[in-house]
Amino acid sequence: MKFDLEHLPMKLAGGWRIDRRNDRVEGKERCMLYSPKVPVFDGYESSALQLEVSMQNIVVRADSNIDTTYPDQGLRVDSGTLVPFEAKLLNDRTVYTNKPVQVAMANGNKLKIGLGFWPTWPVTQTQYASFDLGSFRGAYRALQACTQQQSAR
């Protein structure tokens, strides 16, 4: 895939965007994919989730406060194994994993995310949102090309 770092940010198929920014986990400038936002019910009202994907991490940002005490929180590609989040970051609205889920996403059809939200009283339940991965394969190739070019500089 031909790729030019000078043309960033760039819109990709399926609402994905690619850009070079400081990642939220390590603060290093990296090539990053940004998903379109998808709706999720936080137990009280409608909210939204967005993915930030680098070759090292997958960050999930929510429009609502995340509570990590709920069960079954994490990422699941198709009917694969649940990949739990490592921790919350920066604020109460961001979680991440550094597990290698990107290749499974590039070969998958659907990413299901389970999250709990605060306040926990009255207790609700783990809420789920799904991302269609139909256009992620092309976006992932762009991420690989961007990362390779950035490393060559």
Give the domain extent around 77.
5-152
The per-residue pLDDT of the chain, averaged, comes to: 91
The Cα 109–Cα 111 span in angstroms is 7
At residue 84, what is the residue type? P
CATH of the domain at 28: 2.60.40.1880
Nearest to 64 by CA among 76, 90, 38, 46: 46
The pTM of this model reads 0.91
pLDDT surpassing 70 at residue 108: yes
pLDDT surpassing 90 at residue 33: yes
Report whether 86 contacts 98 (CB < 8 A): yes
pLDDT surpassing 70 at residue 117: yes
Question: pLDDT digits over 54-94, tens only?
Answer: 999 999 999 999 988 899 999 999 999 999 998 887 677 78
Q: Residue 153's pLDDT band (boundaries 50, 70, 90)? A: confident
The dihedral over CA atoms of 48, 54, 55, 60, expressed in degrees to the nearest 10, equals -30
Per the structure, the count of domains in the chain is 1
Report whether 10 contacts 138 (CB < 8 A): no
Least confident interval from 49-53, 70-74, 119-123:
119-123
Mean pLDDT of all residues in 42-47: 89
Residue 97 has what pLDDT?
86
